[in-house]
């Protein structure tokens, strides 16, 4: 069956027929380039590098998202990713889910995500420019406010590509300066070997860190991660020229960027070459910026400001635009002013985006840890992941299932913490489980919350009416996802072929950090061989995914 792409005209919050490299590099630049190095630094200073698998395990979710869901977004006949809900579901539940997610994600989740980026960049300006936290945050608010008036999705995708090129140049210059001023990789290797801290990429078997690692790579990435790309990624995939270019957009730029990602991840290791006395009283995440303060002199510090400002602008403006699309294109237009013109929506959208950065600024003012916000994100999505996965492939998942999962995952983390803090019986029970399982508080919390939320949404799903057959048939016939649907011609799932490709990509995303560890330990030949293997298998995955993504594949 030939699938005709849905065509839309450009607007503030959506676009169409974008070139594959624009989409691919734009998606790359919205990763954790700004926040992740700060977290690596914090874990290094704690002597617990393996704790980064809390973040790195998301690569597994990304791999499965690329293979099982990315190609489906372009087939949807809607303008924004959140409108999937009113196309896939039916009835009152569909309406309330659409309203809830528009306001919840647009007004809370997106500003929280922006606050992570604000906090990370505020630290950069505070230390490199020697200004106060308040002054740095005010400067960010003003800059973001001015940028709001140029923040359309179409502009974003194009500017992100330009930002990408500038970022690579500044990255290479900075890495060269760090080698000249602070030391070489050989010096990093000596610091690792001479440190009293126990640095390991993978934790030692039988420790609490090992148990946490198992939770992160086996449960967290799919149970507490939203892997079907319903965010800025989904919005950009819907702007692709065709479903056939999706694999090219996602995989080919990542092959090029893998080298630069390794370079970015090496930089936090330079903290081991900084005089320890300079780190006294400094927040472990903030310590990352000290690397640049010590290595760069005079106007060279502005090079670091440019280096950090690029991922800041890219991620902040992308989150801001996504938030605006949820609040305006999805909530305001659907439920307040359904006859609003695109010009009117652009004006309302601009004010909505200004409100979003105001909220993000307030959250940043009261925040002190990027890692803390990351953990909070994971707890408020615990148990939600399976609903987002199954809604594409199983007809029985209805709007009430997703709505109950999202509301319970928002409420239960706070209830969990309050019970642990204020009730003796519950804290004793949790502590006993922690001792028995050799597990810390956070991984156990993820498991318990994921289990409870999953049980709740399954009960709600079977206790409420299924999605109407008309809606299910319309979705399955148009999107052709495969899986279990009430019509016969719902597309080919190709489960086992996709599973093999997902495992190849997952292994490659993990391999990047193995290469990183080999490099900082000066195993150069082995690193080169591993990187060559990475490139080869990524190209294999690309060809396989192109083949399986064909409508008759």
* pLDDT of amino acid 82: 95
Could you read off the pLDDT of 400-423 as tens digits, one per residue? 999 999 999 999 999 999 999 999
| pTM score, whole prediction | 0.92
Yes or no: say if 333 and 345 are a contact pair by the CB < 8 Å rule.
yes
Yes or no: say if 230 and 84 are a contact pair by the CB < 8 Å rule.
yes
Could you read off the pLDDT of 89-99 as tens digits, one per residue? 999 999 999 99
Could you read off the pLDDT of 494-507 as tens digits, one per residue? 999 999 999 999 99
Cα distance between residue 542 and residue 536, in whole Å: 10
Cα distance between residue 406 and residue 85, in whole Å: 13
CA 237 to chain CA centroid, Å, is: 15
**pLDDT (mean) for 346-373:** 95
Strand partners, 240: 18
**pLDDT (mean) for 192-209:** 88
Question: Which pLDDT band holds residue 240 (cuts at 50, 70, 90)?
Answer: confident
* pLDDT of amino acid 31: 81
Residue 534 has pLDDT above 70, yes or no: yes
With helix as H, strand as E and coil as C, how does 328-357 read?
HHHHHHHHCCCCCCHHHHHHHHHHHHHHHH
What is the DSSP secondary structure assignment for residue 466, as one 8-state letter?
P
Residue 109 has pLDDT above 60, yes or no: yes
User: Could you report how far apart the first and last alpha carbons of the chain are, in Å?
Assistant: 10
Q: What angle do CA 212, 216, 217 make, to 5 degrees?
A: 120
Domain made up of 20-549: CATH architecture: Up-down Bundle (1.20)
When comparing pLDDT for 29 and 220, which is higher?
Answer: 220
Could you read off the pLDDT of 149-166 as tens digits, one per residue? 988 888 889 999 999 999
Q: What angle do CA 413, 326, 4 make, to 5 degrees?
A: 120
Cα distance between residue 467 and residue 402, in whole Å: 12
- Please give the backbone phi and psi of residue 137, each rounded to the nearest 5 degrees, phi first: -65, -40
Domain residue extents for the chain:
20-549
Could you read off the pLDDT of 259-290 as tens digits, one per residue? 999 999 999 999 999 988 888 888 999 999 99
Cα distance between residue 58 and residue 220, in whole Å: 8
**pLDDT (mean) for 481-493:** 92
Cα distance between residue 117 and residue 105, in whole Å: 17
Six token digits for residue 479: 């999107």
Calculate the alpha carbon distances from 123 to 176, 266, 425 in Å: 23, 20, 41
Coarse DSSP helix, strand, coil percentages of the chain, rounded to the nearest 5 percent? 75, 0, 25
Comparing 12-16, 137-141, 373-377, 455-459, the range with the smallest average pLDDT is: 12-16
Give me the half-sphere count of Cα atoms (radius 13 Å) on the Cβ side of residue 275. Answer: 5
Six token digits for residue 273: 């070459």
Residue 1: how many CB atoms within 10 A of its CB?
10
H-only helix segments in 182-243? 185-194, 208-215, 221-223, 232-237
* C-alpha closest to that of 477 among 488, 468, 467: 488
Six token digits for residue 280: 């006294």
* pLDDT of amino acid 10: 53
Residue 79 has pLDDT above 90, yes or no: no
Yes or no: say if 152 and 12 are a contact pair by the CB < 8 Å rule.
yes
* Cβ neighbours for 85, distance < 8 A, ≥ 6 positions apart: 94, 97, 98, 101, 399, 402
Yes or no: say if 8 and 14 are a contact pair by the CB < 8 Å rule.
yes
Question: Got the DSSP string for 100-134?
Answer: HHHHHIIIIIHHHHHHHHHHHHHHHHHHHTT--HH
What burial letters (b/e) apply to 345-383, b meaning 16+ CB within 10 Å?
bbebbbebbbbbbebbbebbeebebbbebbbebbbbbbb
């Amino acid at each position: 069956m030939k699938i005709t792409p849905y065509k839309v005209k450009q607007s503030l919050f959506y676009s169409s027929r974008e070139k594959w490299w624009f989409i691919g590099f734009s998606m790359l630049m919205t990763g954790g380039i700004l926040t992740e190095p700060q977290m690596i630094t914090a874990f290094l200073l704690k002597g617990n590098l393996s704790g980064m698998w809390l973040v790195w395990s998301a690569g597994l979710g990304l791999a499965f998202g690329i293979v099982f869901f990315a190609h489906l977004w372009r087939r949807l006949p809607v303008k924004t990713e959140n409108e999937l809900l009113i196309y896939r579901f039916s009835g009152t539940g569909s309406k309330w889910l659409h309203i809830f997610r528009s306001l919840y994600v647009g007004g809370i989740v997106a500003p929280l995500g922006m606050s992570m980026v604000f906090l990370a960049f505020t630290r950069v300006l505070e230390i490199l420019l020697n200004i106060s936290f308040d002054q740095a945050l005010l400067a960010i608010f003003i800059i973001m406010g001015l940028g709001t008036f140029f923040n359309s999705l179409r502009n974003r995708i194009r500017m992100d590509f330009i930002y990408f090129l500038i970022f690579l140049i500044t990255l290479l210059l900075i890495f060269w300066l760090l080698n000249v001023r602070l030391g070489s990789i050989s010096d990093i290797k000596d610091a690792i070997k001479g440190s009293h801290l126990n640095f390991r990429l993978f934790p030692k078997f039988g420790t609490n860190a090992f148990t946490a690692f198992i939770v992160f790579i086996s449960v967290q990435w799919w149970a507490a991660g939203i892997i079907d790309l319903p965010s800025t990624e989904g919005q950009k995939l819907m702007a692709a020229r065709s479903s056939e270019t999706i694999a090219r957009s996602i995989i080919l730029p990542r092959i090029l960027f893998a080298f630069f990602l390794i370079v970015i991840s090496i930089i936090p290791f330079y903290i081991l070459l900084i005089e320890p006395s300079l780190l006294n009283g400094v927040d472990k995440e903030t310590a990352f910026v000290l690397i640049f303060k010590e290595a760069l002199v005079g106007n060279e510090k502005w090079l670091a400001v440019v280096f950090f400002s690029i991922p800041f602008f890219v991620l902040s403006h992308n989150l801001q635009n996504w938030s605006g699309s949820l609040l305006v294109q999805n909530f305001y237009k659907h439920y307040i002013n359904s006859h609003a013109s695109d010009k009117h929506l652009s004006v309302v959208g601009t004010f909505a985006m200004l409100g979003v950065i105001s909220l993000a600024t307030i959250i940043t003012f009261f925040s002190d840890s990027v890692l803390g916000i990351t953990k909070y994100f994971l707890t408020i999505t615990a148990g939600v992941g399976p609903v987002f996965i199954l809604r594409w492939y199983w007809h029985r998942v209805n709007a009430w299932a997703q709505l109950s999962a999202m509301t319970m995952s928002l409420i239960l983390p706070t209830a969990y913490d309050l019970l642990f803090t204020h009730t003796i019986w519950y804290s004793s029970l949790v502590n006993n489980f922690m001792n028995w399982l050799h597990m810390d508080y956070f991984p156990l919390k993820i498991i318990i919350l994921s289990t409870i939320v999953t049980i709740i949404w399954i009960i709600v799903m079977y206790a409420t009416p299924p999605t109407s057959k008309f809606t299910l048939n319309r979705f399955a016939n148009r999107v052709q996802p495969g899986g279990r649907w009430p019509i016969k011609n719902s597309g080919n799932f190709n489960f086992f072929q996709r599973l093999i490709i997902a495992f190849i990509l997952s292994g490659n995303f993990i391999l990047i950090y193995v290469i990183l560890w080999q490099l900082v330990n000066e195993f150069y030949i082995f690193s080169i061989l591993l990187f060559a293997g990475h490139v080869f298998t990524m190209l294999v995955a690309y060809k396989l995914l192109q083949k399986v993504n064909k409508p008759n594949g």
